């Protein structure tokens, strides 16, 4: 095992289609290893994305977006039980336990698959930033950014057939080349704390398992 404590960032889009969610949940179950500590930070883009809203509405959409991540968390927790525990940055009594670093560490040490919802709990942020923040707080060795493409490409692979997969790239180069992998706040945190980020295709069977085992797939940003 190359990495001991990993954070998987799962976009809300994974929750927009039940069959895709089942597929991802199966990949998570099959990849899980008793020595591994895994936390999953959930997006909420399947409900709302604040960045698309006018400033006047932004607080409302940000709150709706954060609540969306909690709904996703409740769904994923149900699929992954009894192996999962769910903590949220939003204090919603009766639905989910409030996030605390100590509680999160306790669950990780108990080898529960830790689902983290609610983002940072604050508007004006994204779940990418929440992922970077939790990675710093929980001393993660690696962040796994799950996507539906094989990694980071020189150009958009959906538009350019000549796009090349970049296997390894530095944070600095990613910023210079304006490759949009995570938002800038998240990047700044990860770069500062020197936490590597692996971008990979979670829809290819066995990829998550390979990534967690430290095998060379996708694109490593470090
Ligand atoms: N959000 C927020 N604060 C946070 C995290 C998320 O206000 O700390 C809101 C924001 O509006 C964001 C939405 O929740 O657009 C959903 O999160 P995100 O867009 O990161 O989800 P993803 O794109 O990963 O599905």
Q: Is 89 in the pocket of ligand 1 (CB under 6 A)?
A: no
Please state, in angstroms and as integers, the Cα–Cα distance from residue 126 to each residue in 28, 83, 131, following that order.
Answer: 23, 27, 9
Q: pLDDT tens-digit profile of 163-207?
A: 899 999 999 898 888 888 888 889 889 999 999 999 999 989 999
Answer whether 130 contacts ligand 1 (Cβ < 6 A): yes
For residue range 139-165, list pLDDT tens digits in order. 999 999 998 889 999 888 888 889 899
Task: Give the integer Cα–Cα distance in Å for 137 and 101.
Answer: 7
118 Cα–ligand 1 center, Å: 8
Q: Is the CB of 72 under 6 A from ligand 1?
A: no
Decide which of 57 and 109 is more confident.
Answer: 109
Confidence of residue 34 (pLDDT cuts 50, 70, 90): confident
Average pLDDT, the chain: 92
Other CB atoms within 10 A of residue 154 CB: 13
Nearest to 36 by CA among 113, 101, 105, 143: 113
Q: In the predicted model, is pLDDT for residue 55 greater than 80?
A: no
pLDDT value of position 177: 82
Residue 43 Cβ contacting ligand 1 at under 6 Å: yes
- Confidence bin at 1 (pLDDT 50/70/90): low
Q: Confidence band (pLDDT; 50, 70, 90) for 109?
A: very high
pLDDT of residue 157: 82
The average pLDDT across 52-64 equals 85
Q: How many degrees, rounded to 5, is the angle at CA 19 between CA 16 and CA 22?
A: 100
**What's the confidence (pLDDT) of residue 103?**
98
CA R_g for the chain? 16
Omega of the bond leading into 217 within 30 degrees of 0 (cis): no
Question: Is 107 a residue whose pLDDT tops 70?
Answer: yes
Q: How far is the CA of 124 from the centre of ligand 1 (A)?
A: 8
Inter-helix orientation angle 18-31/55-80, to 10°: 60
pLDDT in tens, 36-47: 999 999 999 999
Cβ–ligand 1 distance for 153 under 6 Å, the answer no
pLDDT at 75 over 60: yes
**At the topology level of CATH, where does 5-221 sit?**
Carbamate kinase (3.40.1160)
Identify each DSSP E strand in 135-193 by its residue range.
Answer: 142-147, 152-153, 165-166, 168-169
DSSP per position, 4-57: SEEEEEE-GGGGSSHHHHHHHHHHHHHH--TT-EEEEEE--TTT--GGGS-HHH
């Amino acid at each position: 095992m190359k990495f001991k404590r990993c954070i998987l960032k799962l976009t809300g889009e994974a929750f927009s289609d039940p069959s895709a969610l089942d597929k991802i949940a199966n990949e998570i179950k099959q990849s899980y290893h008793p020595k591994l500590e895994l936390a999953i930070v959930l997006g909420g883009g399947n409900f709302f994305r604040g960045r698309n809203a006018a400033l006047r509405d932004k607080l409302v959409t940000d709150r709706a977006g954060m609540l969306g991540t909690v709904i996703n968390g409740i769904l994923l927790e149900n699929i992954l039980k009894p192996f999962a525990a769910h903590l949220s940055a939003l204090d919603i009594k009766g639905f989910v336990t409030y996030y605390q670093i100590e509680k999160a560490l306790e669950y990780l040490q108990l080898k529960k698959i830790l689902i983290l919802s609610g983002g940072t709990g604050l508007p004006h942020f994204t779940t990418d930033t929440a992922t970077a923040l939790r990675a710093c707080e929980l001393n993660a060795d690696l962040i796994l950014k799950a996507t539906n493409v094989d990694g980071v490409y020189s150009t958009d692979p959906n538009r350019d057939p000549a796009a090349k997969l970049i296997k390894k790239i530095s944070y600095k180069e990613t910023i210079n080349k304006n490759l949009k992998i995570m938002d800038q706040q998240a990047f700044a945190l990860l770069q500062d704390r020197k936490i590597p980020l692996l971008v990979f295709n979670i829809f290819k069977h066995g990829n998550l398992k390979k990534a967690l085992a430290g095998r060379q797939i996708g694109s490593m940003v470090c």
